Structure 1
Amino acid sequence: MSAGTTLAEAVLDARDVVETYRDSAVLLSDWQSLLLQAAEVLTRQSSDIDTPPEAETATELRMLAAGEIETSPELVERTALRLRHLVVVTRPSGVPHPEDDDWAF
């Protein structure tokens, strides 16, 4: 993730880490940095989206990055649910919404 990472990219990266661990107990090679960078982007850009739990999600991502991903299945599950919601509300630019008539990229 670069300094210009969008909120949508950060959320997708974090979701990849959390879902890969949740589904397969596998941690991606740069999992901690991806979670911390996503938390930073979420914190910085949280006022741009209409989702109250984004600050809590950033805190949860920091907790997971600190090692709780391996010791707190409840936190992993709760964060996965929050990230699923954020993926929907922070679509990357250029990706059509399900209700759009034109699905051309």
Structure 2
Amino acid sequence: MAKIDVNSLPEFDAADYLTTPERQAEFLSAALEDGDDAGIRNALGVIARARGMTGIAEATDMNRQGLYVALSENGNPAFSTVMKIVRAMGMKITITASTP
């Protein structure tokens, strides 16, 4: 069996596949359902890249660098920042009761 050179494979970027608002909403909903802070932050970052960081930064009154930092692996955006980003993406967060 031939070995595959992992370094020769194209880099996967989920942002390349989140081409519609519906796909983006599903992606963020799945992250919210998992409830992992890092996963939610990552999903927001991927969607922001899919939509264009500059446009999201402008819509949130943030600079691009600040947006990148907030949504980075080490970022810890305030809830108000998360809500600005979600609104800039034309989305809203809906809460439902979970069943045990």
Q: TM-score range by the shorter chain?
A: 0.3 to 0.5
Name the structure with the higher helix share: 1
TM-score normalized by the length of structure 1? 0.40
- Choose 1 or 2 for highest CA Rg: 2
TM-score by length of 2: 0.42
